[in-house]
Structure 1
Amino acid sequence: MQIKPSVLITGASSGIGATYANRFAKRGHSLVLVARNKSRLETLASSLRQENDINVDILQADLTQPEDIAKIETRLQADRKIEILVNNAGAGLAGNFEQQSLDDITQLIILNSLTVVRLARAISPRLVEKGSGAIINVGSVVGLVPEFGQTVYGATKAFVLYLSQGLSFELLPKGVYVQAVLPAATRTEIWERAGADLNNLPPLMDVGELVDAALVGFDRKEAISIPPLPDISQWDSYQAARLAMIPGFANNHAAKRYLEG
């Protein structure tokens, strides 16, 4: 029987991360679960081992701290059984841009963007060497909609989307699949942690439905999966419009509209 690769999941103690852990466990994958809350990780790991007869390791880490990020990088570099990385850990930030503290903004950027890059960089050389494996980066539709007013959070998620597209362009020809998952509002603890008013939230997608849809996209090898989007032709049109602009970027003179008085 072929042994399935191990999956490392960040932000695995609750919400989307815990649901990914449950789904991959049911598929027979051994897991490495990463989060700050050790007691939650232990409880989840125990139930997954018992229900699915798999190996589950836990790594307590705060992925805003350099030494903890380095610890997960080391595991990704050294553990050749890990061939799937789920970059899920993330946070939101309440309030308007001018009201948010610089420290909070910095921590958000580290967690939502820098850590995603560092962990993807840690595992990708091994995956390229093997010619297989996958990186799943959990972003957000907010990264496409500055009109939502979540400026820094949205910017970090736009970064995750661009990073995923760039990695897909570079790594897919070498056998490594990269998927960006773009949820909309989903029923997780991120809202309360960000200080959001729960009475003013939009309708929320069930986290199980989100992850199940994202895994359908994963099985289909979609580069970008947007579970809440009803009409995928809208995304296709968006992509086509973006690609149509590329030749114009090569012009070595300013466009005519800038040369007219």
Structure 2
Amino acid sequence: MSDTNTQGIAVVTGASAGMGAVYADRLARRGYDLLLIARDKSRLEAVAAKVTAGTGRSAEVLAADLADPAQLAKVEERLRTDESISLLVNNAGGTVFGPLAQADPSELEDLITLNVTSLTRLTTAVLAGFTRRGTGTIINLSSALAFNVLPVSAVYSGTKSYVVAFTQALQQEFAETGIRIQTVFPGAVRTDFWTGSGIEVSAFPQEWVMSADDAVDAALAGLDAGEPMTLLSLPDIADWDKFDAARQAMIPNLSRSVPADRYRN
């Protein structure tokens, strides 16, 4: 049974395997009780049982397909109204790699719904309570492919780039509050994520592939350090700082009353 010394409830989506299951374990060890969400109830229950046996924290499971509007709405309502929720990990996601002209439009629509719509709606829902209480933490999983855009990753990279812009805007909106919002950028991680994606993880050099345990431990270390953007394998964070500084330097010139000289005769 869970004791009364709790950090509140941590909600983890995509919690049935991979990084989601590791987040569940690590957050329980930090004193959180858990609400674990994914489609596969039996796998969720296995993760919950393992976490509870190993940590003593309570772990509730909620089987839901976040690409389904009705099921997503039920999860939203829980996040909007449960005053015990103190942390949300938006880990659920999927991918379809391949040439866009050969893609199944319905698969792409499901991908956009899962990676963009559900993340946005769940974040909006949990912020209702966080704003009332003046505290809370949101962890949004983006991807290294938000930056390293490939010919076969048009939609996936696009959705993960959305996560970056969305989270950066929220970080500005809640900068003067007790609400923390982090974006995490995994590279290739050894999980079931790749199954059916069009690319096998075995195709990558092993030095490119991180374990799910190392990925989550690094992400939480970044959270502890107060990083708004955590690039898990980037050796020198100064490279990100220079990248972001270049973006900031362009901003004053992105909207002016006349076109740039190169576009005028």
Are the equivalent residues in 1 in contact too, given 2:98–2:152 (CA < 8 A)? no
Q: How is 1:205-244 mapped onto 2 (pairs within 5 angstroms)? A: 205-244=210-249
Instruction: Report the equivalent of 1:70.
Output: 73
In the alignment, is the contact (CA less than 8 A) between 1:172 and 1:178 conserved in 2?
A: no
Q: Which moved more, 1:10-19 or 1:88-97?
A: 88-97
After superposition, residues 1-261 of structure 1 pair within 5 angstroms as 3-147=6-150, 149-203=152-206, 204-260=209-265
Q: What's the TM-score once normalised by structure 2's chain length? A: 0.95
- In structure 2, C-alpha distance between the alignment counterparts of 1:200 and 1:80, rounded to whole Å: 45
| Paired residues, number | 260
CA RMSD of aligned residues (A): 1.3
Question: Where do 4+ consecutive residues of structure 1 move more than 4 Å?
Answer: none
How far apart are 1:94 and its partner, in Å? Answer: 2.8
Cα deviation per residue 1:152-181 (whole Å; 9 max; x = unaligned)? 000000001111111111123222110000
Query: Does structure 2 retain, via aligned residues, the 8 Å contact 1:142–1:148?
Result: no
Any idea what SS the aligned residue of 2:247 has?
Answer: helix
Q: Say whether the 8 Å CA contact 1:185–1:202 is kept in structure 2.
A: no
Structure 1 gap ranges (5+): none
Structure 2: unaligned runs, 5 residues or longer: none
What amino acid is aligned across from residue 3 of structure 1 in structure 2?
Answer: T
Task: Output the amino acid matched with 2:188.
Answer: A
Report if the CA contact (8 A) 1:128-1:171 is conserved.
no
Q: Does the residue aligned with 1:253 lie in a helix, a strand or coil?
A: coil
CA distance in 1, matches of 2:94, 2:85: 25
**TM-score, scaled to structure 1:** 0.96
Change (3 A) 1:199 1:4: closer
**Deviation, structure 1 residue 78:** 1.6
**Alignment check: 8 A CA contact 1:8 1:32 kept:** yes
